[in-house]
A and B are shown apart, each in its own frame.
Chain A
Amino acid sequence: MTEHVVRVLLSGVFHASILFLVSAGLQVVFGVQKIFNLACGSFYALGAYVGVWAVQMYAAAGGPPAFFIVPLVLGGLLVGLVGVVVERGLLRFVYDRDETFQLLLTFALVLMLEDAIRLTWGTSPLSTGGMYLVYGQAHILGAAVPVYNLVVIAAGLAIAVGIGALLTRTAFGRIVRAAADQREMTEALGVDMRRLYALVFTLGTVLGTLGGALVIPATAAMSEMGIELIVEAFAVVVIGGLGSMRGALVGALVVGVLRSIAISVYPELEMLLIYLIVIAVLVLRPRGLFGAAATAT
């Protein structure tokens, strides 16, 4: 029984780690730029494809399998720089427009990126083969758990702590929080908002692409993989509170773990349960669990 509980919890937390990265990207962008970035799921898919590609190149070059995570993470980080291009090339034109424009633009991005992925990598699912199994299994209270899953969970936690520290303990973090709260005042105090927006959006994009790269050894890259995740990321931000990083962490854990429990206990409830919680939060606490301050903390 303990063994089963461990399996269910850890598979839930694994799912939550990826979900957290994507939702965190969504949150940081919304917190500062007030743009609800539908393309966060597409960045996740893009990171996955670049991750597969990087690992395949690495394997073809004869790199030792145990270090495949290095090209994987590098690929995920570097492709995140596409965020600068998207922000400077597209998003900056719609900051002062109605939200509908922003949603339409980011939705257009979803469609464009999906096609770009298809043109670049084709339509067949891509995978990193058996790299996932390189690190073997760990036995926790009798349950066999893939070590790679633990690596992803640890990475998710480390990133959560890192972002927390970045936002609360650095000058950059103070500026980000200030911009989230009082954009005009921050600008009046001499902060270059163009630069800040580009930086924040790129940070949001990197979180998504890194999430995609990290998950890929355990799964396979498919061009429509982003769509599935956007839906779950919505649930996360509604539960956690729009714009809140702490909300993203708790929301992702709630969605990931409850999904896992539902699959084990009553599989028909898998997604329904998540939506029931979303509805409950919307009715009882519309701003979400951590949405009170409406800042990026």
Chain B
Amino acid sequence: MRSRRDFLKGVGATAVAAATAGPAVVSAQARKGVPSDPVKIGVIAIRAGIAAPVGAAGLRGTEWWAERVNSAGGILGRKVQLVVEEESNPKDTVERYRKLVLQEKVDVVLGGISTGVTLALATVAEDLATPWLSWDGTTQKGVDETMPNPKWAFKSVDNEVEAIVAGMLTPKYFKGIKTVAGIGNDYSYGHDCWQSYQAVLKRYIPDVKFVLELFPKLGVTDFTSHIAAIQQSKADLLMCSFWSGDATIIMKQAAAVGLFKTMKGVFTTAGGVHDSLKKDFTPEGLLLGYNTMYFDDPKGSPLLKQFVREYKAKYNEYPPYECDHAYFNAESYKAAVEKAYASAQEWPSKAQVVKALEGIEVESLSGRRSWREDHVQMCNFYQGITTHKNAYDFVTINPIETVSTRQAMKPAGAKLFDWINSWKL
């Protein structure tokens, strides 16, 4: 029979063993020159208002990435810890951004959707000398770049790319279009999309006439009067850049008067509401965009398929594009840290991470994505013709057109309309 003393000795030995085994295990995973504490990643996500569903999708994409990375041992053996703050108006968001960097001492900040906010964030990111990777926000004023050579800020694709892609695809799928009506939200994005779409379409169909433009306020939920005006315009085609609940609403109200029985339709992006475009009221034959990730891509990677499956199981929704903006941001940060470590053999400084990010290409949910040298995200846009032939109660697209930002986004330093007018078709 063991004495009490032996028992205590035993306990002590186990405790010591545990104490020595602990760091031993960590150092087995962590590399030389890599701290053992978790790497803190700041996240800025919209939680309220019209962009809340998109913000939620970005956050979910980031969380999925973090779980995946952590279960595989972290970044160079360091676990990932997300510190989430809310994106609201520019002033408050800037304060929260400062808190993340100065108080929480995060290594990198991810997120930012509204360009109104990210214009302000970018300047602060430059001041605070911490890498900031934006999900969906740019530093554009209208279609013009305001920060062509940032050091710390990494920006999303230009806002108007989906409209440019739609402009390129319109003549391919809709023959004989002579007159076009447009509707978009009354703020920069809505107007910029309409301008860009017109510029592109004019290149393909020089004598096209734009017969009506409507810009209801963001948040309007009754478009019956707008639809009456669209019907009266007798346009061959309607271009709509709505991306939130209003896309669903106008689709339903248009169906109620049979608008698309006589008119073609282009919806540049289904944004965060693609699965609310039910077959009951969304006709086949519209050109519909999914922005930069199409959840139902039959050619999608195993990574995309796993993500869609797990996202559906967890949230009972099909993921929108914002998930992949967010996933790419986080994954490219990880790749940049690993790349910088390979040469420095120690956890890289923030400046080394930024250097490694420039031009880096990684496998993201929707395929390969990269950072252009001027810190703009490069990826694919997915648009196609709506179909009811699927297993869902909402429309999907077939055929699927994949257009790269290499084709549809103005090159670094270019002026948008000069660039469009310089195309050789």
Contact = CB atoms under 8 A, between A and B. Distances in A.
Q: Interface size class for chain A?
A: 35 or more
A124 B227 contact: no
B162 interface: no
B58 interface: no
Given A224-B49, A224-B50, A144 B219 contact: no
Contact of A4 (B231, B244, B273): B231
B195 interface: no
Interface in B283-302: none
Contacts of A260: 224-225, 228
A219 B280 contact: no
B257 interface: yes
A98 B181 CA distance: 51
B281 A267 contact: no
Interface in A73-102: none
Contact of A224 (B215, B219, B222, B393): B219
B276 interface: yes
A223 B216 CA distance: 18
Contact of B224 (A11, A118, A124, A127): A11
Interface in B53-107: 53, 55-56
A145 to B, nearest CB: 7
Chain A at the B interface: SS class: helix
Contacts of B253: 132, 146, 218-219
A219 B222 CA distance: 7
A263 B226 contact: yes
A203 interface: no
B256 interface: yes
A188 B364 CA distance: 75
Given A127-B252, A133-B256, A267 B229 contact: yes
B41 interface: no
Interface in A257-294: 259-260, 263-264, 267, 270-271
Interface string B170-198: 00000000000000000000000000000
A113 to B, nearest CB: 13
B48 interface: yes
A146 B49 contact: no
A118 B231 CA distance: 35
A125 B245 contact: yes
B213 interface: yes
A144 B257 contact: yes
Nearest to B222: A15
B155 to A, nearest CB: 25
Interface size class of B (residues with CB under 8 A): 35 or more
Contacts of A15: 222, 224-225
Nearest to A8: B228
Given A133-B255, A144-B257, A222-B50, A7 B215 contact: no
B257 A220 contact: no
A153 to B, nearest CB: 11
B256 A263 contact: no
B221 A219 contact: yes
A133 B281 contact: yes
Contacts of A123: 47-48, 52-53, 55-56
B248 A223 contact: no
Nearest to B219: A228
A227 B219 contact: yes
B220 interface: yes
B278 interface: yes
A222 B245 contact: yes
B213 A267 contact: yes
Most chain B CB neighbours (cut-off 10 Å) among A130, A225, A271? A130
Interface in B249-281: 249, 252-253, 255-258, 272-273, 276, 278-281
B257 A146 contact: yes
26 contacts: A4-B231, A4-B232, A11-B224, A11-B228, A15-B225, A118-B48, A118-B52, A123-B56, A124-B53, A125-B248, A127-B249, A127-B276, A133-B281, A148-B256, A219-B221, A220-B221, A220-B245, A222-B50, A222-B244, A223-B49, A228-B220, A263-B214, A263-B225, A263-B228, A264-B225, A267-B215
